[in-house]
Every structure is written in C-alpha cells, then in structure tokens.
A and B are shown apart, each in its own frame.
Chain A
C-alpha cells in the first residue's frame, strides 16, 4: 500500500511569490491534513479537508489556503510569501474511525 506522497520535496522561493504544494493520500483515505513544522514550534495544524470540503482550520492567515480534489489528492497554496513561511510542510491522511495520521515526508520550503 503506497504511503502519503508529497511534491515537491524541496523548493526555494523569494518573498512575495506564491507556492503550491501537492499531496496524494493513502488510497482509500478521504481526510487530508496539512501541518507546518518550524524549529521550536513543533507541528502546527493548518487545515483539514474531507470529501473536498475544508473541515477544520488552524490559526493561519488567509494567505494559506488549500483544496481537495475528487480523488482525495490535496493542494495547499501560500501567497505573498514571507521569510517566516520557511518551514517543512507536512501532509497527512487518515482513514475512517482512527485517530492515527499517516504523514508524508514533507515539502521543505525556503523563502529568500
């Protein structure tokens, strides 16, 4: 069973640009969540999508957005990038009736 796949793994952007990250969940999983990891901050919840609808949202500005497609694949977008957006962005999928999340390897974003 293939795991959670995230692309790209690494990317470098400059301030003011926008970026789109992609996530393919485990087959059969309908819930996809996104997390931001920065040093000293742990993993902070961005948002969760379930059946193409945003089900939960964390405390991030509107520059952070996402969507989910009918095949459960998800994308997240960050517009008007700031230096502080440099982080590892992790996607996770969950099956039904489970509290466990399965994470991808992450997309490492560097904003210069």
Chain B
C-alpha cells in the first residue's frame, strides 16, 4: 500500500522556467510533509517542509504548496537551474506522534532534468 505517491517518474524543463513536482498521499493522519533532493552517490538532503496547519511554505526559489482536502502537495522551483537536476522525493510523517520522529514515508521519487 503506497501511502505517498509521486506519479511522474521524470520531468524535464528548460533553465529559467518553473519546475512543478507533484505528490499525493492517502493517510489523513500525516501532519508534516518534506521534500528531499538526491544526487547520485549521495544521500538525500532536506530541501523544504510544510506543516499541515499551513498551505504554503517558501524558501528562496523553492515553494511547497499543500492541499489537505485533495491530499496533494507540490514543489515549485522558480527559476529552475541546471544544478537542480536531481531526484526529488516527497515524504510524510506524523510529527504529532513523537515516537514517529525517525519514520518518514517516501514517494518513489521524480527525476528532474533542467536543460541549459
């Protein structure tokens, strides 16, 4: 049972344009959502997060939007840069349950390619 889904395995955009990565979840108990970026031969690195009490969080070129009613979140990268080319994972957790600190449920990942 895939509780977090990223239905697009890959995405290709032109440098300077917007990249939109999507993620859907099924478990309404999730209250914290994160995006991680992963380069080959490296571990995932944290990018941005959002609590379920918000619908938007922005950090520089990165913005995450959360639509709780649709159980959907998206990551917007504006403008996209070639260095953003990587695999992006969305993840969800139940932060309200402190015993779940280390347990994130990840999507399958979306490979973003930003062309110069």
Q: Do A and B come from one complex?
A: yes
- CA of A41 to CA of B36, assembled, Å: 15
Q: Does B104 belong to the interface (CB within 8 Å)?
A: yes
**Interface 9-residue window, one of B42-50, B54-62, B64-72:** B42-50
- Closest residue of chain A to B44 (Cβ to Cβ) is A103
Question: What is the total number of residues of chain B having a CB less than 8 Å from a CB of chain A?
Answer: 28
B109 near A42 (CB under 8 angstroms)?
Answer: yes
Contacts of A83 in B (CB 8 A): none
Decide: A48 and B103 in contact? CB cutoff 8 A.
yes
Q: How many cross-chain pairs have Cβ atoms below 8 Å apart between A and B?
A: 74
B15-65 contacts to A, CB under 8 A, are 32, 34, 36, 41-46, 49
If A40-B108, A100-B49 touch, whether A32 touches B102 (CB-CB below 8 Å) is yes
A56 lies within 8 A of B43 (CB): no
Known: A40-B108, A42-B89. A103 touches B102 (CB 8 A): no
Check A64 for interface membership: any CB of B closer than 8 A: no
A33 touches B102 (CB 8 A): yes
For residue A11, CB closer than 8 A to chain B, the reply is: no
Option from B45, B93, B99, B107 in Cβ contact (under 8 Å) with A103:
B45
Say whether A76 faces chain B, with CB atoms less than 8 Å apart: no
A residues contacting the other copy or chain, number (CB 8 A): 32
Name the residue on A nearest B42 (C-beta): A105
CB-nearest residue of chain B relative to A44?
Answer: B106
Q: Does B105 contact A (CB under 8 A)?
A: yes
In the complex, the answer to whether B102 meets A106 with C-beta atoms within 8 Å is: no
Nearest-CB distance from A96 to chain B (Å)?
A: 8
A99 within 8 A of B: yes
**Residue positions of B touching A, CB distance < 8 A:** 6, 9, 32, 34, 36, 41-46, 49, 89, 91, 93, 95, 98-109
State the 9 A-B residue pairs at the shortest beta-carbon distance, nearest first: A103-B43, A48-B102, A33-B102, A42-B108, A43-B106, A31-B102, A99-B32, A99-B95, A42-B106
